[in-house]
Amino acid sequence: MKKRIHKYDYQNGIITVIHENKYLNLYLTNSNKRRFKDLFEVGCFIEIRVNFTRKKIINRLKCFQVVCVIKIEKPTHRTTRTVFSIDNLRKKLIKDITKDKHYLFLDLEMTMPPYYPVKDFQAEIIQVGYYLTDNKCNVIKYSSYYVKPTKFKTVSKRTLKFLNLEREAIKDSEEYSYFYNDLKELVNTYNPKIVVWGKNDYLAMKASFSLNKEKPIIARNRIINLLTEVKNYYNLFNDVGLFSAYEVYYNDMPTQRHDALSDAYILYRIYEAFIKKEERDRAFIER
* Nearby residues of 160 by Cβ (< 8 Å), 6 or more positions away: 166, 167, 170
pLDDT in tens, 48-101: 999 999 999 999 999 999 988 999 999 988 899 999 999 999 999 999 999 999
What pLDDT does residue 163 have?
87
- For the ranges 104-113, 245-254, 273-282, the lowest mean pLDDT is seen at 273-282
What pLDDT does residue 111 have?
93
pTM, entire model: 0.87
- Going by the DSSP 8-state scheme, the letter that residue 14 receives in this structure is E
Average pLDDT, integer, range 236-252? 89
To the nearest 10 degrees (0 to 180), the angle between helices 176-190 and 200-211 is: 120
What pLDDT does residue 284 have?
67
Average pLDDT, integer, range 153-161? 90
Under a CB-based contact definition with an 8 Å cutoff, are residues 256 and 265 in contact? no
- DSSP for 39-77? T--TT-EEEEEEEEEEEEEETTEEEEEEEEEEEEEEE-S
Residue 242 has pLDDT above 50, yes or no: yes
To the nearest 10 degrees (0 to 180), the angle between helices 226-234 and 260-274 is: 30
Residue 280 has pLDDT above 80, yes or no: no
**Could you give the CA distance from residue 195 to residue 183 in angstroms, rounded to a whole number?**
13
pLDDT in tens, 108-135: 999 999 888 888 899 999 999 999 999 9
Residue 148 has pLDDT above 70, yes or no: yes
Residue 287 has pLDDT above 70, yes or no: no
Q: Which domains does the chain have, with CATH numbers?
A: 2-86 (2.40.50), 97-282 (3.30.420.10)
Tell me which residue of 271, 279, 109 sits closest to 192, measured CA to CA.
271
